[in-house]
Amino acid sequence: MAEEKLNWNTLKKRSIDGIGGLVLAITQDYKTGEVLMTAFMNQEAFEKTLETGKVHYYSTSRNKIWLKGESSGNFQKVKELFVDCDMDALLLKIEQKGGACHEGYRSCFYRKNSKGVLKTIGEKLFNPNEVYKK
Amino acid sequence: MAEEKLNWNTLKKRSIDGIGGLVLAITQDYKTGEVLMTAFMNQEAFEKTLETGKVHYYSTSRNKIWLKGESSGNFQKVKELFVDCDMDALLLKIEQKGGACHEGYRSCFYRKNSKGVLKTIGEKLFNPNEVYKK
């Protein structure tokens, strides 16, 4: 089998809410396996993530590249990177400093469904109002 | 704090490649924590998943709802369901029968990046040509 390469050109890009040229990224704690968050990357975010070893995303709400942790200090250090069968989604096993979620939790998936009602099961690690000074 | 509900109306829908009304779903092995796949759900897929306890997706390439396992027999049984802070992504902890990936692997993330080259690290569980009879 021919050697398969991973770079921006070999990825399949998607359009999210009308913004083209994005791939999905899922981050997972490299030790515990906890899924921490999901967001999108554009070319610059993808390439900066590989170059620096720190996860960068593209914010579809703010329309800009974003180094995760730039405001909070809660950087994500890449340990391993996987790509899915369709070449349109990345799985990054990372070392997460502090909490990944802008609401102050370790994981963005801090609420569990219980028959249509959401129960908060995550522990709050920081106060977003103190960390993200508006 | 008011009780937070989870249903189709409380989710934030996104447009993927021009197809509106979708939310992202990530599935993870409920025992090992292995991330198995990611795909999208429309309202019907979301509600059928809750009703039946078996994961349904919406295929953006085939433009149709899809019960995972309907061709392969590799159904995904929901154990726990989480929603993210932005209410636009779901994390489903599931019991996976066989392999989740249509290429025959346990996880769709069966290739790992090694300096720009993809190394297959997943074990092939089935032959897709035999399972998905064309």
Inform me whether the pLDDT recorded for B134 exceeds 80.
no
| Cα–Cα distance for residue pair B107/B100, rounded to 1 Å | 6
How high does pLDDT run on average in chain B? Answer: 95
Burial class (CB in 10 A: 0-12, 13-18, 19+), B127: exposed
Residue B2: CB atoms within 10 Å: 4
Query: Can you give the pLDDT at residue A97?
Result: 94
The phi and psi torsions of B9 (rounded to 5 degrees) equal -70, -30
Query: Can you give the pLDDT at residue B2?
Result: 66
**Residue of chain B with shortest Cα separation from A7:** B116
Q: What is the mean pLDDT of residues B18-26?
A: 98
Q: What is the mean pLDDT of residues B33-47?
A: 98
- Using the Cβ of B91 and the Cβ atoms of chain A, whether some distance falls under 8 Å is answered with yes
DSSP assignment letter at A10: G
Q: Across the interface, which of A16, A84, A103 has its CB nearest the CB of B38?
A: A84
Query: Can you give the pLDDT at residue B43?
Result: 98
Q: What is the mean pLDDT of residues B75-96?
A: 98
pLDDT in tens, A64-97: 999 999 999 999 999 999 999 999 999 999 999 9
Q: Residue A123 — very low, low, confident or very high, per pLDDT cuts 50/70/90?
A: confident
Among residues A106, A78, A33, the alpha carbon closest in space to that of B115 is found at A78
- Using the Cβ of B15 and the Cβ atoms of chain A, whether some distance falls under 8 Å is answered with yes
Q: What percent of chain B has pLDDT over 90?
A: 93
User: For chain B, how many helices (H) and strands (E)?
Assistant: 2, 10
Beta carbons of A22 and A15 less than 8 angstroms apart: yes
Encoded tokens for B39: 């795909």
pLDDT in tens, A20-32: 999 999 999 999 9
Contacts of B126 (CB under 8 A, 6+ apart): B72, B98, B99, B104
Inform me whether the pLDDT recorded for B86 exceeds 80.
yes
> Which positions in chain A touch B15 (Cβ < 8 Å)?
15-18
